Amino acid sequence: MRAIAIAASSCVVVAACSSTQHPAVPEPVPVSSSSSSDAVQQYLNAVNALCGRLEQKIIALNGGQFDIPLKDFLAQLAQHTKLRDDFDRQLAAIVVSPAAAAKAQALADYIAFANKLDAARLRAARQGAAAYQREIHAEQKSAASDPSIAALDTAGFSQSCTAR
């Protein structure tokens, strides 16, 4: 209500100060698509920078390998979980403009896929080396073809975002 009162007061002041040649109510200013595309690009830049930092930390942790021995997987699990949680917390702090909502959804879809892989790998690891190796093999065959990865790329995210 206060905003409406302020806006109404502003219109009265503008009308009082205007000459008869100018309209009392200013014409609407069109929202330029460049401002929305700028917001989308800012979102992509922020997320891609975050992904790049995560990728570097993952490389430092395990050499960036997808297939690591079970004992290494278990030894690195706490550090990996912390990196993932820190990433998710920082990602949540990035502002998503309405124009970037579809891109954010593509990333959310990929993260849901990655979380399923993480959970399946952890379940398999708890069942032993053979189950863990079967899971790794299954992931190598199917993970790269998941539609969420293609959508991530199409949305403009860096390949480093697959480190999540």
Three-class secondary structure assignment of 75-95: HHHHHHHHHHHHHHHHHHCCC
H or E element that contains 60? helix 33-62
- pTM (2 decimals)? 0.76
Structure tokens at 135: 């899971």
Query: Residue 107 in contact with residue 152, Cβ under 8 Å?
Result: yes
pLDDT in tens, the chain (164 residues): 323 232 333 333 333 333 334 334 334 434 444 588 999 999 999 999 999 999 999 999 988 887 899 999 999 999 999 999 999 999 999 999 999 999 999 999 999 999 999 999 999 999 999 999 999 999 988 888 999 999 999 999 999 999 99
Residue 150, pLDDT score: 95
How far CA 80 is from CA of 21, 30, 70, in Å, comes to: 67, 47, 14
